[in-house]
Structure 1
Amino acid sequence: MNVREQISVDSPPVIATYRGASFTSVSIVVITALADIVLMAVFFHLSYQQASDYPGMPAKVWKLTDAVFVVSTLYLMVASGGYSRQQIGNPVSQISRLLFNSSAVALLEWIGLWAADLTEDFWWPFEAPLNTVAWGILLMCGIRVVLYKVLVEGARRGMIARTVAIIGAGEPGSRLISALERRKEPWVHIIGVFDDRVGRAPELPFAPGILGTVDDLVAYSRQNRVDEILIALPWGAETRLLDILSQLRSIPANIRLAPDVIGHHFLDRGFGRLGGVPVFDVYSKPISGWGALLKRVEDLVFGSLALVIASPLMLLCAIAIKLDSRGPILFRQNRFGYNNNLIGIFKFRSMYHEASDANCDTQTTRRDPRITRVGAVLRRTSLDELPQLLNVLSGDMSLVGPRPHATNTKAAGRLFEEVVREYAARHKVKPGITGWAQVRGWRGETDTEEKILRRVECDLFYMENWSIFFDVEILFRTIMVVAGKNVY
């Protein structure tokens, strides 16, 4: 039975769903961008009307400030990838980029107005430039949450999809399908597997079904939308691959070679160039060059600001610790830092001084008798971590990065490096006060090996996908999970 007969008789429902007029991820990106432009235009108009009530130069300054803000914010969203298809499924990342970009522009404009001695012309903060357009930014954040829910619901109903056809019914194809299914993206739909050698392997258990040969796929694509064609065949089969690629050249779809056997161990990598020669990137230095400089500026600026804001609270914590039990206010502990070197990190003392465990030979557990009354509150609210802002400013730590572990911490009685072979790789960047593992819920006691495995996975993911906007997203998420069931 050829593919046309299969589709009409017993194909999965997903095949019949995605024909020409379906929404795509591009549609959502366009809708998001247009909504942003309309919102900013509306709020700029409202602000323009407000500015008209001011006389002469102040009115012109107000209007110009808002115009620069609107254009710059929208431009930075484009430049930072805020309208990319990769971001549509992550509203938190989109919102963090939006807030970061708009706040940066607003801060620079405010500094400019202050330097030009123009701030006294307005009734700050009640009536002034940026006030009205700032409400537009908040509504843009709300739109992203709504559109994400629409995206998920549309994918569930089959209205939004990215259709994927796979060529290759062997082991590479099986691995590829498993990898795609693990991602659990509701808008990615595998329509089926195609293979010229399907007759030789009729028993292969593929959930999407083997629909026919490569010729059948070409015929199918004439009547149905196919967004992606992934060729899951050994790269060593050069002649066969070139023949298949020649057959697919006329199909209006993205044609991609899926990873070969060893490539499945490095699914998040890609190709680069060295001396003009294409090379497959396996491990790269995570944060270097301008990225390292930008991250250091981020640590100094946000770290200093956080320290100033938190100083009154830190003073209260210090007083409470001193009144609650005898001993020093701060506790210094050696932990692994950048390049596996030992660094001394600061914390508010949360245990009785005589019970302090400098090397973490015994992990802290729930209702640990070594913890003081004030210490329990500090740990539950993560306030005991605030002195690490001093480590950030000194350069030993970053605001965001893999959490530093004490030298003797264990998972189920085994040292971390014995449990996870890639454990030391997390020390290729500076440790952080917060990190991707923490905001994903992998924090607290590591009483099982799975907990440290998941934590290291998150740390490596952070290192491989680092950007200034990823840091902002993590800081934003940290505020929402600063206290939780795994904190004690």
Structure 2
Amino acid sequence: MTTLDLPAQTAQAKQSEQRSTSAARLKLPLAASLEHRRLQCYMMLILLDVLMIIVAMLGASEAQYGMTPASQLRQLALLVPFYVIAALAFNAYSLSALTSSRFSRHRAFASLLAAFTMLIFIAFFAKVSDQISRVSTGASFLACAITLILARTAVQPLIRKMCGPTAQNVLILDDGGLPVRIPHAWHIDARQHRLVPNRNDPHMLDRLAMFMTNMDRVLVSCPPERQMEWAMVLKGANITGELIDETVVAMGVLGARRVNDTGSLVVSAGPLGMRGRAAKRAMDLAIAGSAVMFLAPLLLTVALLVYLEDRGPIFFKQQRQGRNNRLFWIYKFRSMRVAQLDSAGARSASKDDDRITRIGRLIRRTSIDELPQLLNVLRGDMSIVGPRPHALGSLAGTKRFWEVDPRYNQRHSLKPGLTGLAQVRGFRGATDTEADLSGRLQADLEYLDGWTIWRDVQIMFATFTVLIHDRAF
């Protein structure tokens, strides 16, 4: 371990150093290496998982039979390697498993489920499935799941003690760039400690190396003109080095790509891959098709009431912007008088809006006016769950929606939906101020980030709790 006494660069810094000598004296390396500790934890988890599976399987057999049959031992001999293989594939032994107890438990359970599935699959094709007891297999799976989850939960404090809260050593070098604070990281002022990216000075490179020793990540925050020098230094430091760049956040950069001699920043990508789009479309067709048939009596009744009120058209059509920024016609049951329809959507409906008919007030309050959009879902213009499409002339205060926040058009990377995360959180009704748009936009962007079909299901169930609401007018 090396101790450096680092002189100040200015008189003011020198006075500050005299007031706090601990800030000027550093023991290098800054931290002990965590690489071997992480490896020890991974090995500990593997051994713990294997031990828990063995104990659970043998315990279940003893409880059921009073002994362990040879067939159970053969299953156990197959299950253990199957589990380890699945756990490696599902990242049950990863950095996230060391830092998150919930992630660790979930991946262990998923690995166990995959291992039992492989075991049953092998037994079926080996034509020995008749030798496997369903009750015994179910009891063994349940016992293994419980012991694995309990063991993973119990060992988490020990892992945290061995590796710390992040299981990584992170160093942030502040060289006059964007201020960055990361919890549990080392923050070093490069100017205070006279650290410069001088590749022509072997002694300076040695000093930088001492600061970086045992670090898993090094982040440098510096002005653009010094980024190239820092990049060259980091490349020769045998370390994961990163440069802080404020444009990454401003442009929403997703990653970088280099092809031959051309580099580019990836700033956009479809939020769903092919399998995700297929699953979402299949769910849309199944739900919308079933809903149309089930709700046919209600739809016909409402259509008749809308027509009888003033003999006007049943449906109200309006252009909205959908996926890929393409315009489409959205369908609703007409709730306003024919002469006062607002096709552009320039005026939001208000609580005492004189344009709304008697039946219109009822179907708007109960969200029944939105049901014809099931036809939009069947046509492929919309989805059951997604960001709600807004009228082209909608205003938040005195501005168009896209003028309030430049991120607004990101909503159009997915099909608009009958319901969405913003709606179940209560962001509905008129947007009289710019603040009225902010909450729903943030919810829509959150929905786009990390889509899963299970979240769609949760939103659909949550929608039933907000079908009748006081902001529907």
Q: TM-score, normalised by structure 1?
A: 0.58
**In the TM superposition, what are the counterparts of 1:54-453 in structure 2 within 5 Å?**
85=95, 133=141, 159-160=165-166, 162-170=168-176, 172-174=177-179, 177=180, 188-195=184-191, 198=194, 218-220=209-211, 226-234=215-223, 236-237=225-226, 240-241=229-230, 244-245=233-234, 249=237, 253-259=239-245, 262-266=247-251, 268-274=253-259, 276-277=260-261, 279-286=263-270, 291-292=273-274, 294-307=275-288, 311=291, 315=294, 319=298, 322=301, 326-327=305-306, 333-346=318-331, 349=333, 351=335, 359-364=344-349, 370=356, 372-373=361-362, 375-376=364-365, 378-379=366-367, 388-433=373-418, 441=425, 443-445=427-429, 446-453=431-438
Please state whether the residue corresponding to 1:281 is helix, strand or coil: strand
For residues 240 and 318 of structure 1, the distance between their equivalents in structure 2, rounded to whole angstroms, comes to: 72
For residues 372 and 297 of structure 2, the distance between their equivalents in structure 1, rounded to whole angstroms, comes to: 10
Conservation of the 8 A alpha-carbon contact between 1:167 and 1:173: no
2:428 is matched by which residue type in structure 1? G
Q: Which has the higher contact order (CA 8 A, sep 6+)?
A: 1
Give the number of equivalent residue pairs: 432
1:92–1:233 Cα change, 3 Å: same
For residues 120 and 380 of structure 2, the distance between their equivalents in structure 1, rounded to whole angstroms, comes to: 29
Is 1:478–2:467 an aligned residue pair? no
1:244–1:277 Cα change, 3 Å: closer
C-alpha RMSD of the superposition? 6.4
Q: Give the aligned partner of residue 205 of structure 1.
A: none
C-alpha displacement of 1:232: 2.2
For residues 461 and 304 of structure 1, the distance between their equivalents in structure 2, rounded to whole angstroms, comes to: 24
Conservation of the 8 A alpha-carbon contact between 1:324 and 1:374: no
For residues 374 and 147 of structure 2, the distance between their equivalents in structure 1, rounded to whole angstroms, comes to: 33
C-alpha displacement of 1:478: 2.0
Please state whether the residue corresponding to 1:443 is helix, strand or coil: coil
C-alpha displacement of 1:410: 1.9
Conservation of the 8 A alpha-carbon contact between 2:253 and 2:266: no
Conservation of the 8 A alpha-carbon contact between 1:22 and 1:159: no
Please state whether the residue corresponding to 1:334 is helix, strand or coil: strand
Please state whether the residue corresponding to 2:185 is helix, strand or coil: strand
For residues 390 and 110 of structure 1, the distance between their equivalents in structure 2, rounded to whole angstroms, comes to: 43
Conservation of the 8 A alpha-carbon contact between 2:387 and 2:411: yes
For residues 35 and 344 of structure 1, the distance between their equivalents in structure 2, rounded to whole angstroms, comes to: 59
Please state whether the residue corresponding to 1:327 is helix, strand or coil: helix
For residues 84 and 138 of structure 2, the distance between their equivalents in structure 1, rounded to whole angstroms, comes to: 15
Q: Give the aligned partner of residue 311 of structure 2.
A: none
Q: TM-score, normalised by structure 2?
A: 0.60
Post-superposition Cα deviations, 1:9-60, rounded to whole Å, max 9, x if no partner, equal 5459xx99x95498999999888888877777777778889999xxxxxxx9
Please state whether the residue corresponding to 2:305 is helix, strand or coil: coil
Larger radius of gyration: 2
1:173–1:244 Cα change, 3 Å: farther
C-alpha displacement of 1:164: 2.7
1:282 is matched by which residue type in structure 2? V
C-alpha displacement of 1:430: 2.7
1:271–1:442 Cα change, 3 Å: farther
1:189–1:109 Cα change, 3 Å: same
For residues 46 and 415 of structure 1, the distance between their equivalents in structure 2, rounded to whole angstroms, comes to: 66
1:264–1:447 Cα change, 3 Å: same
Conservation of the 8 A alpha-carbon contact between 1:3 and 1:216: no
C-alpha displacement of 1:375: 4.4
Unmatched 5+ stretches in structure 1? 53-59, 114-118, 201-212
1:346–1:40 Cα change, 3 Å: farther
For residues 419 and 210 of structure 2, the distance between their equivalents in structure 1, rounded to whole angstroms, comes to: 52
